[in-house]
Amino acid sequence: MGDKLLTKIAKPYLIGAIVCFAVLAVLFAYGHISWKALLPCAAVCYVIFAIIVRFVLRSGVIDTLTAANGEIEETLRYSVMHNPFPLCIVNGEGVVAMSNDGFREIFPQAKILISTMEELVGSEKMDTLKNSDASVFVEADGRIFRTLASYVNKGVSESAILYFLDETQLRDMKKLYEDEKLCYCNLTVDNYEDSLQASPDETRSMRAAAIETLIRGFADEVEGSLLRYRSGAWLIVFPRKHYAKLAAGKFPILDAARSLETDADFPTSFSLGVGLGATPAVSEAYARYALDLARGRGGDQAVVKSLESLDYFGGRVQVIENRNKGKSRVMSHAIRQLIADARDVFVMGHKSADIDSFAAACAVSRMAAVHGKEARVVLSSYNHSLTDVYQLAAESGNYRFVTGEEALKLISAETLLIVIDTHVANMTDEPRLLSRTEKLIIIDHHRRRESVIENATVTYMEPNASSSSELVTELLQFDDETRRIDKLEAEMLLGGIFIDTNNFSVKTGARTFEAAAWLRMNGADTTNVRGWLQSDMEDFRQKASITANASFSPNGIAISRSDGEHDNAQIICAQSADELLDIKGIRASFVIGATKKEVVISARSLGDLNVQLIMERFGGGGHLTMAAAQIPGATIDEVIKKLKQYIKEAEGENK
């Protein structure tokens, strides 16, 4: 159309020019005009002709442009009204100026030149369209639309065309695909055999049937297939569409298990590992990992593993001790074999070592030395309470202590590294040592956390043990070369048990007393141990102040703080939390203090509040009744505020 318009305008001027020059040529030929006047006459004639033509053509051009504009408007209107996609035109004020039937079907309330798009889809989504090239999703008329915008002058004017692409079917297909993915769930009954053995013969089968009925009912509820693959263990495969309901209800089968009638002196509890992977093989692997984590954290809980996260449910009761000496014997043999195959041995505990970590590390290093290997204890720092014990150990000449920096220079690929009293890499005395050798052993009694040290050759984790000292004491008993240990070593191990059991009042099982008895047989003097654990006068006054200034809630929660910075804040807070728990009516205690580097929390519970879960939210850990955390870069007031919120949430989950 543009070429035609140009031709229509230019053609008369071209013809006029030709006619003018033809007439002047004839007049010049017959001598009616001189050659000097030829050009001026031609110019004058052309100007006069052009003026005439301009006035003649002006009305025609206007008519042509008007017609072209009308065609454009009609084409635009037709494309809007008959477009297969719902769309609308928005003017500079953001008001709907034009729309088609598809748009009006989605937004029947929209009024031309009155309704704004912010009213229809929301200001936040319109801001996204204005300020970026991204699309937004709009839900309307029971459907979901991907909305695209084409702005005339983006950032300056709101004039635009908005397109609405119906993706409801795509969303439904995606949801159906996700819903039909398979979840793998490994379920085990904690202490299954012990629970049944506690029942008399006439009710034993009834108790087993009740457990199986509950599990089958759970499988039917989630439309799952059920396979019992060994005594007390089942595999359930079910569609993922049921997972959201299970998570929202915090896996009600955990509560149902505790309510089962039992003849044992402990409730029935389940451990569940659920895997949510992209494929059945991945989901199965996730489920196995999650079950190991659930059992490593003490049982009575569900752990859900997906690509993005790990989620925890339950963990509200203390599962009874379920350990056998056969495992300790096997572990002792495996550790001795690895010691024999190593060039040398390094034993490393956690940062700011306490007596449990220190005693266990010293005992394991002596085990290696007895078997002819050069053994070193990695110790870069220790807490205030360990000063006297460390001095005695150093003076005995039985142990070689090195700092983390020194160990980095001495370790080799043939070195056996034994990590004691922790299984989290960044909590070890020197995390860089972990990557210097592939020969690695972990010995720990804490509940398993997701950030476990990877690729250990042997992992000996027993969350039902009272302390690492107890675990190491059992290992020593099954080693013919270390069945007799010296008095100092026995007393250090007994001190580790004392500290972690609060003088045998928490986390104490039959095996704990057996270990303590064996240490006494090897010369451990409880008087000496008690002397090591005594507080000096300043610490005593600090603990008295913490207890006196504690706040008590009606639901039996005690919270207190230690003002100022103290090098031994961790010990003071732990001992104060123990003392607060001795007050009648208190079922959980939390004490917060600070060192020069970080804020520390010690948490204690009688068992109905899982303090481990609360401390994990601060990046710490521990056990159901005894846990702690260290929080760098925070103030005591900030930590107390968060702590109160976490306690409130935990109490709500327990209801």
Confidence grade of residue 339 (pLDDT, cut at 50, 70, 90): very high
| CATH number for region 87-174 | 3.30.450.20
pLDDT, one tens digit per residue, over 356-372 is 999 999 999 999 998 89
42-56, 74-88, 539-553, 625-639: the lowest-pLDDT one: 42-56
Q: Global pTM? A: 0.63
Q: CB of 594 within 8 A of CB of 569?
A: yes
Per-residue pLDDT at 38 exceeds 60:
no
Q: Which amino acid is at 416?
A: L
> How high is the pLDDT of residue 267?
84
Specify the length of the chain in residues.
655
Q: Is 3.40.50.300 the CATH classification of the domain at 325-532?
A: no
| Mean pLDDT (the chain, rounded) | 84
Q: Domain 182-314 adopts which CATH fold? A: Alpha-Beta Plaits (3.30.70)
Supply 188's token pair: 């085990």
Confidence grade of residue 5 (pLDDT, cut at 50, 70, 90): very low
Strands 374-378 and 401-402: parallel
Per-residue pLDDT at 145 exceeds 70:
yes
pLDDT, one tens digit per residue, over 477-511 is 888 776 678 899 999 999 999 988 888 877 788 88
> What is the average pLDDT across 574-598?
90
> What is the average pLDDT across 72-96?
80
Helices 487-501 and 468-477: crossing angle in degrees, nearest 10, is 140
> How high is the pLDDT of residue 357?
94
pLDDT, one tens digit per residue, over 273-285 is 999 998 999 999 9
Strands 182-189 and 233-239: antiparallel
- 33 CB-contact burial (10 Å; exposed 0-12 / middle 13-18 / buried 19+): middle
Distance of CA 610 to the CA centre of its chain: 19
Q: CB of 403 within 8 A of CB of 410?
A: no
Per-residue pLDDT at 64 exceeds 80:
no
Q: CB of 415 within 8 A of CB of 440?
A: no
Q: CA-to-CA distance for 568 and 595, rounded, in angstroms? A: 7
Q: CA-to-CA distance for 100 and 88, rounded, in angstroms? A: 7
The per-residue DSSP string of 451-507 comes to SBPSS-SEEEE-TTSS-HHHHHHHHHHT-GGGSS--HHHHHHHHHHHHHHHTTTTSS
Confidence grade of residue 6 (pLDDT, cut at 50, 70, 90): very low
Q: CA-to-CA distance for 195 and 522, rounded, in angstroms? A: 35
CA-based nearest residue to 322, from 300, 352, 344, 289: 300
Q: CB of 188 within 8 A of CB of 235?
A: no
| CATH number for region 537-654 | 3.10.310.30
> What is the average pLDDT across 263-275?
87
Strands 557-565 and 598-605: unpaired
Show me where the domains of the chain are located: 2-81, 87-174, 182-314, 325-532, 537-654
> How high is the pLDDT of residue 571?
84
> What is the average pLDDT across 34-55?
60
Per-residue pLDDT at 288 exceeds 70:
yes
Q: CA-to-CA distance for 461 and 468, rounded, in angstroms? A: 9
